[in-house]
Chain A
């Protein structure tokens, strides 16, 4: 071993080392994406304490006031940061907050706090370099209280009762005559059979004042019986049915008007680009498909992402 070969250090390692340095320097200049800060058109309004938390923990990626430190600007880090900022702003931007309708603002805030609780946000690789951006338990308590205080529970609400009555009349006198099936922009057609499937669980959503029942097709029910639910088998379909809430005089809450039905169809090949699930949402009794383009599914995936260790499924099934 030691006889013929010269020590390889000078012959190989040094040139490689310098080549790498050279590449690194070149990398700083080529193909440099540009992060600009577009104008702040309608910033979120919130108590100072709440806003301070969002600013320190989220604004770098979810506002038009991105503040990059020198070490963020070194490639290849810079490329990753730029990608995060672009993607981050797309899904949530506190600088253009007022473009969202009031209920959507509320929904986004609950989603934001839930992503923090789940440990999904701020991104871990970001807090590793920016420890000051971490959301402490005290911060989280402030955010949770802010949200809880926003919930107003109205008792009997006549507009909701009227909406239900109207729907109910049409629904109960419906004949077998079927209209053309509704199809989502990603090609998934409405599945009328969801109401004949067995129940997996129910939820009482305090955040948006709705009630939900989650049903599953036979493949889903069999998987639950056998505990084979992580990952869920191909062919599994879930339906989540959502209604308004209507409280009666005794404080009993019943389902109000039908809002929507959502589906998740498992096929790890066909739906590989959306984490193995085909997503679709049909709104109102007219079953209007949600989402102008098939990109709407990114929204579904992003909110379900904290459940990535559970095959992107939130519901913990109740065996029936």
Chain B
């Protein structure tokens, strides 16, 4: 008879040990791909404009923008004052939860464009490039014009 008293807890213990473990929330975040909190990126409230992949470099990028930037791009008009655009690029990595998929790995760079009103011209474009482990401002301006053109040339992804 006694043994049945032992059996029940033993059975419960067995069931508990068999049930799966749930990893805690923090461990499920893609940390290496996450933006430094100091950027306060999400506060800017930017929306996705499009996304792209560079096969040669093994990177993937997402272009974000404010409403004005999206609408200007959709209308195919030149830059208007007040646009905010951000192009974020990651090294790709294999998705360890889905064989056949690649997802953002290490954060590589952040490019920011702001446009302001300019007398005589459509808008003045300010371009900033952050990269490296600390996402520091990159002082090199050699390719700025090329990058500005590249970013403005992106066609928005169709989102009905």
The answer to whether A and B belong to the same complex is: yes
Report if A181 contacts B (CB, 8 A): no
Residues B62 and A167 in contact, CB atoms below 8 Å apart: no
A residues 222-275 in Cβ contact with B at 8 Å: 223-231, 241, 243, 245, 247, 250-255, 257-258, 261
Choose among B1, B29, B54, B102 the residue that contacts A316 (Cβ–Cβ < 8 A).
B29
- Complexed CA–CA distance, A108 and B80 (Å): 47
Report if B25 contacts A (CB, 8 A): yes
Interface size on A, residues (CB 8 A): 68
- Complexed CA–CA distance, A255 and B97 (Å): 23
Residues B41 and A320 in contact, CB atoms below 8 Å apart: yes
Residues A164 and B158 in contact, CB atoms below 8 Å apart: yes
**What A residues does B55 contact at CB under 8 A?**
247, 251-253
Interface size on B, residues (CB 8 A): 49
- Total A-B Cβ pairs within 8 A: 164
Interface flags for A266-292 (1: CB within 8 Å of B; 0: not) read 000000000000000000010100000
Measured CB to CB, the nearest residue on chain B to A314 is B97
Known: A224-B29, A307-B97. A202 touches B51 (CB 8 A): yes
- Complexed CA–CA distance, A311 and B23 (Å): 10
Choose among B25, B42, B51 the residue that contacts A230 (Cβ–Cβ < 8 A).
B25
- Complexed CA–CA distance, A223 and B103 (Å): 21
Residues B35 and A316 in contact, CB atoms below 8 Å apart: no
- Complexed CA–CA distance, A164 and B33 (Å): 30
Residues B155 and A254 in contact, CB atoms below 8 Å apart: yes
Residues A202 and B97 in contact, CB atoms below 8 Å apart: no
Residues A213 and B155 in contact, CB atoms below 8 Å apart: no
Report if A28 contacts B (CB, 8 A): no
- Complexed CA–CA distance, A239 and B15 (Å): 35
Choose among B41, B52, B157 the residue that contacts A253 (Cβ–Cβ < 8 A).
B52
Measured CB to CB, the nearest residue on chain A to B46 is A198
Which B residues fall within an 8 A CB radius of A? 1, 20-26, 28-30, 33-35, 37, 41-42, 45, 47-48, 50-56, 60, 62, 64, 74-76, 92, 95, 97-104, 154-155, 157-160
Which A residues fall within an 8 A CB radius of B? 8, 110, 113-114, 117-118, 144, 147, 164, 167-168, 171-172, 174, 194-199, 201-208, 211, 213, 215, 221, 223-231, 241, 243, 245, 247, 250-255, 257-258, 261, 285, 287, 306-311, 314, 316-320
